[in-house]
Amino acid sequence: MHDLMQFGEQLMGRNIVHQESPNEPGKQSRLWSHEDILHILIENMGTNAIQGIKLDLLGQKHILLNPRAFTKMKRLRLLIICHACFSEGPKSLSNELRLLDWAAYPSPSLPSNFHPQKLVTLNMYHSKIKQIEGIKVCEI
């Protein structure tokens, strides 16, 4: 019963977000539809309204990411990407990011203009990252 209620709440939340801008997903605050996300990332259609992206592609696909795709997403706080193979990494990321979870990140480093002072969670498994500067590791 609890799972059914949680599923209903998720659907209701997605409907509310979809109503923010039903015809222009780039103006929605949260994105989880892989069709919408891919269109935004490939065509560089992101806006300042986007605060969260969760892209999980079943069956890994090679995607030609527009390297400037995240430039206009200044308020992006949550970025989760898994099961997607991008041609290259982004030229910029939001300094507002709290959670960055990008499996198989395609570049050897994060963008040089990325200052992750607000970052709480960083997961970059199976990535090509060789060096991360400006991030302090807290041991518990």
Question: What confidence tens digit (pLDDT) does each residue in 131-140 have?
Answer: 776 555 555 5
Inside any domain, residue 95: yes
Question: What confidence tens digit (pLDDT) does each residue in 65-95 have?
Answer: 899 999 999 999 999 999 888 889 999 999 9
Q: How many domains does the chain have?
A: 1
What does the angle CA 103 – CA 73 – CA 128 come to, to the nearest 5 degrees? 25
Inside any domain, residue 128: no
Inside any domain, residue 83: yes
91: its two tokens: 């030229």
Inside any domain, residue 137: no
What pLDDT sits at residue 70? 95
What pLDDT sits at residue 47? 93
Inside any domain, residue 129: no
Inside any domain, residue 79: yes
Inside any domain, residue 25: yes
Domain extent at residue 43: 2-123
